[in-house]
Copies of this chain bind each other. A is one copy, B any other.
């Protein structure tokens, strides 16, 4: 994918300032709202059943993040999800911690069955747990290799019937036919909380401005990974506290020059052997 394509979507986000409705966990609310603002979109966090549907109906994209879910939030998730489906806006599902407890795994599976999910975005362990390949692929974690990420995404997309993005050292986005592999990002992203959650929100913002789910999601993750590389350059190994601030700075400042220099996204066929 060319830097120009990513830059164009980023500019559309900045010009349109899409309203991104987040039903998300209490750990990342501040960081994710600031990340959404930094990229030029407008965040709103509204978890209550009393207004979840109304807010989703006013939004341009919806992020459903189960990081600190409980039964009231699940109810709000369904209300917002149905309103978003009715309106036809993108819905990104972030299965935080799926696999850690039966409650999370089951809730995610039910959401995928009962709502039209535009994109499932998780790490290798979470996505594996949802699509039931824990026993087949061993040692899956955020530090896993690129082949794992691609295979896990392909398997999950096949099993769940929806586009899937698996993020890690190399990100993979697939609909079961094509796969984008995004070779951007930095290992410091795993040393602060909420970078995965923010990846989902960035994807939602890009999808609200894209006609194509796969390339839109890949562009989002490319932009996000380039921002992380820029952030680590500026934080100069000082540590995660500085990196967190610099990631927000980078989301705000990444321009065509950064993208031209750093963007590294390849399009492949799903199931390709020599990858």
Contact = CB atoms under 8 A, between A and B. Distances in A.
Interface stretch (A41-49, A156-164, A213-221): A41-49
Copy tally for this chain in the complex stands at: 3
A234 B196 CA distance: 29
A174 interface: no
A255 B46 CA distance: 37
Interface residues of A, number: 53
Given A70-B47, A245-B241, A249-B238, A100 B38 contact: no
Interface of A: 25-31, 33-34, 37-38, 43-51, 54-55, 58, 67-72, 97, 100-104, 191-194, 238-242, 244-250, 252-253
Given A26-B26, A34-B241, 10 more contacts: A27-B30, A27-B33, A27-B45, A30-B193, A33-B194, A34-B244, A46-B68, A48-B103, A51-B103, A191-B252
20 contacts: A26-B29, A30-B31, A33-B194, A34-B192, A34-B193, A37-B192, A37-B240, A46-B97, A47-B68, A48-B70, A48-B71, A50-B70, A50-B71, A50-B103, A51-B104, A58-B100, A70-B72, A241-B246, A241-B248, A241-B249
